[in-house]
Every structure is written in C-alpha cells, then in structure tokens.
Amino acid sequence: MKSSVVNRIETIIVGAGVAGQLIAKNIKTNEGSGLHVVGFVDDYVSKSSETVDGLSVMGVIKDLPQLIRDHSVEEIIFAMPSERGKKVREVVELTMGLGIGYKILPRLAEVLKQDFEQDYLRYVRRVKPEDLLGGEILKTDQAEIVDFASNQTILITGAAGSIGSELSRQVIAYGAKKVVLFDWWENGIFELRTQIIENYPDATVEYIIGDIKDRSKLDQVMMKFTPDTVFHAAAYKHVPLMEGNPAEAIKNNIFGTKTVAELAIKNKVKKFVLVSTDKAVNPTNIMGATKRAAEQVIHILSQSQDKTIFSAVRFGNVINSNGSAIPFFEKQIEKGGPVTVTHKDVTRFFMTIPEAVHLILQSWVMGENNDLFVLDMGESIKIYDLAKLLITLHGYIPEEEIKIEIVGLRPGEKLYEEVLVKEEETSATSVKKIFRTQNYVSLDMTAYLQQLVTIQDFVQADALNETNIRALMQELVSTYRPANN
C-alpha cells in the first residue's frame, strides 16, 4: 500500500522505544527528510496492534520481509541504540535480496539529552560493518583508567598502526601526562600527529621515527623520556606475507619484542603490556608462531626480575584494521566484484578497534606480573556470510549482482581461531569481557634462551631458508604445526 505522501521513501523503524519514537517524530516534522514512516517493528512489544504516537507496531522482526513487500518499503532505520552486532545482522540477513537501504541511529545519540525537541534524525547514518559486528556497549569504570593514566608517561610502539594509533588517542583522551609515539612508518606517524594536534592541541606528545629492532635508538628514547608504561603494539601481522618472509617475522615479532622488553627492565619501566593475538594459540602459521614466542619471551623475562610488571592481551580480528578483510571486500564491491573468500567455512571473531583498545586499557590497570588477558570477542561469524552482508549493505544482491568467489585457504590460514592453549584456564575479572589466565609456558629457561640464540643466528645467516626456519620455530614453539595448504 503506497503512502499518500508523494515522492517519499517508505520507511520502517526497527524499535518502538524512546529512540524510535524520537526518529518518527523528527521525520514527521521534517518535510525535507524525504522519508515517510509506515510503522514500527519491535520484538519487545507484545501486541502487534499497539500504536505508538499514532503509528502502528506492525509486528516483530521476523515479519519484516512480508511487511516490506506489502508496504513497498525502501528503507529500514534501526532505532535500538543498545542493540548491536547480532540483532543488526539478523535484520540484514532476513531482508537480504529485497533491495532496501539500511540506516541506523548510532550510539553517539545515547549521550545526548533525551528530549522530544532534539533533532535525532541528523545523527542517523548508513549502517557500517562495525554495526554488524560490534558487541554490546561497554559499561566500565572509565574513571579508573583516568586515575591510572593521569600521572603516567606512556611509550607506544607500533603507534601508527590500527591498534597503536587508537591506543594513542585513548590514552591522550584519558589525560596521560606524556605520550611517546614510536614507529618506523613515517607517513603513518605524520597522519597520526596531524589528528592529535587537531583534536588534542594541549596534549604533551613526542613523535619518534625508529625501529624496535634498533636497540641503541630505543634505549636512548627510554632513557630520555623515562616511560612508566610501555604498550608494545609493533608487529608484522599479515599471515600470507609472513609465510613468505619468516625470517623478518622472527626478527621483528620475537627479537623486536625481546629488545623492547629487555630495555623496559633496564630503564625501570613499571608496566609492559604486549598486544598479542588469538593466532598465537596452536599456531598454523609463522605470524602466529612468532606471536606465541613473543608471549613466551615476556614470560621468561617476567620471571627474571621483580621491577617491571609484564602482561599480555590476546584478542581476535579488529574491524577495519589496516589490510583486514572488511576494507578489502569493500574495495572489491566498489569495483563490481567478485568478492574473494578463501573458504566457505572460515570463521573469525571480530571487535571494533575502540572496543578492543578500551579493554586493553582496562587490562593494563588491573594487570599483575605474568598475566595473560583474553578478551571476549563474542560470537564468531563465517567470512562468507560477512561478505554477503557487506554486499547487501552496498545495495546489491549477493551472488546475483555481486558474485562471491571461493579462492582457497591462504598459506598458514586456519578455518577458525582459538583463544586458549590446552593448559590455560581463565578466570573472570571485574570487567565483563576480560578474562585472566597465567601466561603458561612449560620451558626450561636456560634451554629456551639458547634456542633463541640459535634461531637468531640462523635467520641472520640464512634468511631465505624457509624449511629450516620453520623447523627451528617448531622447536621453539611446541604448539606450532605448519598448515599443509
């Protein structure tokens, strides 16, 4: 049934609560919106005949496909600010192929004054990948981080990367006394510096171009700025590239970490936080094996002294990180496809970058020596299903208008990721999505240090001998099993 309003986009609002009512009121009073609300759907309203502010609650979410057809609906607006991830995916999956658009009232609107005169419509935007994959809103004590950061000088390695740059922004926003940003990537540091100067003009920040493998330079930096905390986010992370360049992964991820950690002890750093990955668990690729070795290195160093508190934080994929699947898929969609997926059954955990970094900072505050924190990444999602969702968000019908091509697993790639090795057991912390375990390492310290010397000498002498490098890594990381693909 077409509306009597000419040239308006027929719209259904998902959520008949306060936010949905505000959006409906704004649309009704805004002639320039180009929208016409036909009604609400809401799983939490018991009777579909109920009306809200003169508009019907037409049914529940599962009724959407039929309602869209019956009312020639062209757009859905999500007005459920507390719902993210699974609920948004459910709606998009249910309506896939119906040729509609998807908009959302973002979480930003929650901090605004809730009165019916507020123009909430101006905050409505297109649904983004993070809306599909983001978890629940974190309700944590941010004051604790502010108190902890306020008297700290903080050094961040890999500061220009996806995690490092967000760490930089958040610790500055939390009022750190001084922040030292260290990275070899000149362009990345330049862009980050521009953002920080624009958004935090009064912050005390040092920008250092350098390589974590350069012991002398890094030692000079630590001696000059005397950091209280080091966040070690620098790492080579791209699985296929590191499969083809194992010596560089070892030099950077293992010995770079060892250098930073040893200098942290030398320079009396109070806390050292290693940013790790779920790929370190039972690794099938060089990148994951080197990150597990990095965890082992800081375990050994944590046992050798009592001045620096060492901890690690392990989590999965972050949305829209440099080189990750989502930006890659979106570029393929913009070109008309195909979207290339390695395997139909590959699953991954996802978290937004701000959410992951916020949890890293919570772990930093509560961390004790040799802690290994595991972040609750929520439910995993099939990458094939993610590709279909992204195609749908761009206004295309998956497999009809944009093809999905299965290209085979990449070297070292797993079908699914894990978060714990067999011997690790977690316990809850005061923060809902953070779990604590001990950095379990069953190693003879003397023998392990000798293995490190052996592999370091080998990659310096014969960096292209991939077969022998992998064999040495299997001796170093007992859980490493190279994938045969």
Alpha-carbon distance of 380 to 307, in angstroms, equals 38
What's the pLDDT score for residue 297? 94
List pLDDT tens digits, range 323-332: 678 888 999 9
**Distance between terminal CA atoms of the chain?**
54
pLDDT at 113 over 50: no
Could you tell me whether strands 427-428 and 434-438 are parallel, antiparallel, or unpaired per DSSP bridges?
antiparallel
> Using an 8 Å Cβ cutoff, are 279 and 285 in contact?
yes
- Stretch (H or E) spanning 11: strand 9-14
| Domain regions of the chain by residue span | 9-127, 142-438
Instruction: Provide the whole-model pTM.
Output: 0.82
Task: Among 64-68, 220-224, 340-344, 441-445, name the one with the lowest average pLDDT.
Answer: 441-445
User: Quick one: pLDDT at residue 144?
Assistant: 85
Please give the pLDDT value at position 364: 94
Least confident piece of the model among 58-62, 280-284, 420-424: 420-424
Residue 472: the pLDDT is: 95
Judged by DSSP in three states, 174 sits in: coil
Report the amino acid identity of residue 160: A
Q: What are the catalytic residues?
A: 279
Q: Identify the pLDDT of residue 377.
A: 72
For residue 2, the model assigns a pLDDT of 42
Q: What is the CB neighbour count within 10 angstroms for residue 475?
A: 12
Q: Which run of H or E residues covers position 156?
A: strand 153-157
Q: What is the CATH number of domain 9-127?
A: 3.40.50.720
Average pLDDT over residues 46-74: 85
pLDDT confidence of residue 116? 46
Domain 142-438 annotated CATH 3.40.50.620: no
Residues 6+ apart with CB under 8 A from 324: 162, 317, 318
pLDDT digits (tens, 9 = 90+) for 366-409: 888 989 998 877 777 899 999 999 999 998 999 999 999 999 98
55-64 — which CB contacts under 8 Å span 24+ positions?
55/24, 57/16, 58/12, 61/14, 61/90, 61/91, 61/94, 62/94, 64/12, 64/14, 64/91, 64/94, 64/95
Average pLDDT over the chain reads: 87
Highest mean pLDDT among 51-65, 185-199, 358-372 belongs to: 185-199
Mean pLDDT confidence for 51-80: 91
Q: Which residue has the tokens 């510096």?
A: 193
Amino acid letter, residue 385: D
**Residue 95 or 119, more confident:** 95
pLDDT at residue number 81: 76
The answer to whether domain 9-127 and domain 142-438 are alike in fold is yes
Render the burial of 153-163: b for 16+ CB within 10 Å, e for the rest.
Answer: bbbbbbbbbbb
